[in-house]
Amino acid sequence: MGIIDPQPNDSILDYGTGDAFTLKLIKEAQPSAKCIGYDPFLDSAAHEVKATYPDIELLTEFAPLKGQSFAKVLCFETLEHFDGRFLETRLDELTGLVAPQGRLVISVPIEIGPASLFKNAVRVQMGKVHPGTTLAKVVQSTLYQRNLGRSAADTGGYINSHVGFDYRSLLPLLEKRNFRLMQTSFSPLAGFATDAVNSQIFLRFLRNT
């Protein structure tokens, strides 16, 4: 909860809420927070969270969100599934929902550096290699090379694979939308502030205007 820092009566949107577990944690910490979860493919477990916290609103369509603004917009483990114009569209949606001086909090997997080598070695061992994985891409990712090329095989620009995703690409895209990076944290080894030994990164941005 530290990087989200929910406050009493906060308005919070969880974009790509999935099972709404994050909203459950927020309501436990701040019962007065106004929480909305949006996900076109809502997990059935989200309805169990809503049964406990009936004032949580769950949406599977984006249209009702247009024109709204929130003190905090969260997007966890979602943006790694998009690239190119589809990623730009997701970022336009997200940033357009953040109130002036509001916060945008993003988490994505680390798929570059040593983490890339380790994750892909585990995927090979478990027989769960991501689509589009090649030795060349794994080597390039491990060496922090950019622009590896990712293709969306499914409709809507959704990419099943994490291979080739580089979290660093998000920073200039958000900067040009007038968002300033305020805080970075890592998981699971939060005490080591580096992507070399962690598998996930959290980024907190402030909307400048």
How many residues comprise the chain? Answer: 209
The token duo for 23 is 């909203």
Q: How far apart are the first and last CA of the chain?
A: 25
Tens digits of per-residue pLDDT, 73-85?
Answer: 999 999 999 988 8
Rounded distance, CA 137 to CA 139, Å?
5
pLDDT above 60 for 152: no
Average pLDDT of the chain is 90
Tens digits of per-residue pLDDT, 33-78?
Answer: 999 999 999 999 999 999 999 999 999 999 999 999 999 999 999 9
Confidence of residue 200 (pLDDT cuts 50, 70, 90): very high
